[in-house]
Amino acid sequence: MDNSILHALNGFFFHHDVVEDTVLAYVNAAEVLFLGALLVAFSLVRGPARRGARRAVVAAGLSAGLALFLAQLISHAVNRPRPFVADPSGVHVFSQHVADPGFPSDHATAAFAIAVAIMLRDRRWGTVALAFATVLAIGRVAMGVHYPSDVLGGAALGAICALALYAAPLRRLLNRLADLAGSLFDGITARVGLSSS
């Protein structure tokens, strides 16, 4: 099943340049886009939504950090070759990639950790983040750099970490941390704003 889904998506990319170019551009920019969205939400959201946005951003960042740490441990323990390494003549690769272990997918791990952390705090923005995470995961398979089980494993790991950090005692701690970080950020920006005027 893993191989048949991989080859179906990879072949679709190979025969549909417009889709491939669009998704590839997004996948290659996804890390910057996710990070940028978090930074914008933390620093620019105003009004009553500000505190909730900052709490979601801190939870998303820490969920992704925890999930990526665990993903590295799992990756080295499992040591699963990527599709283009395991089957170099049968998989089209659409961008250069290191031949490091592919399970679980770091991109899917981080994206789903962020998306689930946001979803737990804001359903509307969480739904948007989940949609972008899903496109990213499918795109990584279609590019030939991951098997479907690589991205599913990453998505599950990211979601589990976000859920674990949503447990009441940890959530309260993260909320305090986010509130403190927000106060420090506001204090610094106020000083910079005063000194530059």
Pick the CATH number of 2-94+102-183 from 1.20.144, 1.10.10, 3.30.1460, 1.10.30: 1.20.144
Mean pLDDT of successive 10-residue stretches along the chain, which has 197 residues: 91 89 93 94 91 96 98 96 90 87 96 97 95 96 95 98 97 96 91 60
pTM check: above 0.85: yes
* Residue 121: per-residue pLDDT: 95
Tokens of 83: 């599709």
* Residue 190: per-residue pLDDT: 85
Locate the domains of the chain by residue range.
Answer: 2-94+102-183
Tell me which residue of 76, 113, 94 sits closest to 24, measured CA to CA.
Answer: 94
* Residue 14: per-residue pLDDT: 86
The percentage of the chain sitting over the pLDDT mark of 90, rounded to a whole number, equals 78
* Residue 197: per-residue pLDDT: 42
For 35-58, give one letter per residue: b (16+ CB within 10 A) or e: eebbeebbeebeeeebebbbbbbb
* Residue 5: per-residue pLDDT: 93
